[in-house]
Amino acid sequence: MKYVIPIITALVASVGLALILLDRFKVPSYAVSKATHNLGKRQNKKINPLEIWLKEIANWLSGKLRLNEYKRMQLDADLKTADMDMTPEMYVADNIIKSLFIGVFAIPVFFFNKLIAALIVFCAVILYFNNSKKVANRIRNKRKMIEYELPRLVATIEKTLIHNRDVLGILDNYKEGAGPELKRELEITVADMRSGNYEVALTRLESRVGSAMLSDVTRGLISVIRGDETSVYWGSLNLKFSDYQRQNLKAEAEKAPKKVRKLSMVLLICFMLIYVAVIGQVLISSLGGFIT
């Protein structure tokens, strides 16, 4: 009971301080924020009011942040590659606000348990660093999904080049059956090729994805555009990518979850118990007849 009054006092003080800060920094109300969000997104799905308020606070903070020019350019390029429609300042501010939202709960908890308060602060710091890696993780996953499709793309290019050397037509036709990540990149590339230089468009594709495997593909396509004989190149590249695909499939097969292995062992034990039970029943019946 001695902790009840400090806890209530801390909670009331925290809520009061939050309301004062919201009013001081002119953070819009939930109704205004929701209307603006729906107008921009054109969607009617339910929206978490807490998420909207945090976004509004992050939007205010993003206007106050001043990032290093090199870091800003690098982060801006990464956000575009990851298809995240936000500015570098907004991305950093959003990470800070979400972490602070978790960390602020350490204030009322501090009055009755300092250890738990320190643990909450530690969780907030971990959350910040995990969110900071979100862009890198998305880029890595996107690159992995694109590279997974490249063996099929290379095989298609090798077969098509025998009777057709129209690079734009090859990519335009292939994108219809491609996966979502590769399809999006090919759509951008095809649009660039139609409105500008073919080689520049392919170079932009290479720089956006940042994949060594895709660099081999774009290098071959540029050679085709220049009129070079590339049949040997595509043949060797097809063999190389096919071997890569086999290695990927083998690696995926070797990553069988331990849970499946445990269930397989349980299934094996069940079969063995059934056999033991059947054999035991037969032996008992035989011995009973023998004794009789």
> How does pLDDT run across 52-108, given as a tens digit for each residue?
777 878 888 888 888 888 888 888 888 887 778 888 888 888 888 888 888 888 877
Say which amino acid occupies 19: L
Instruction: Please report which confidence band the pLDDT of residue 218 belongs to, taking 50, 70 and 90 as the band edges.
Output: very high
Instruction: Report d(CA 252, CA 167) in Å as an integer.
Output: 33
> How does pLDDT run across 84-100, given as a tens digit for each residue?
888 888 888 888 888 88
Beta strands in the chain (DSSP E): none
Instruction: Report d(CA 81, CA 75) in Å as an integer.
Output: 10
Helix (H, G, I), strand (E, B) or coil at 111: coil
Give pLDDT, residue 44: 46
Mean pLDDT, rounded, for 18-37: 53
Going from N- to C-terminal start, the domains of the chain cover 4-132, 138-254, 261-292
Instruction: Report d(CA 287, CA 278) in Å as an integer.
Output: 14
Give pLDDT, residue 13: 63
Mean pLDDT, rounded, for 167-185: 89
CA distances in angstroms from 44 to 37, 38, 172, 243, listed in the order given = 10, 7, 34, 47
**At 26, phi and psi to the nearest 5?**
60, 45
Nearest to 213 by CA among 192, 249, 238: 238
Give pLDDT, residue 288: 61
Give pLDDT, residue 18: 59
Residues 6+ apart with CB under 8 A from 224: 161, 165, 167, 230
> How does pLDDT run across 119-144, given as a tens digit for each residue?
888 988 898 888 888 888 888 888 88
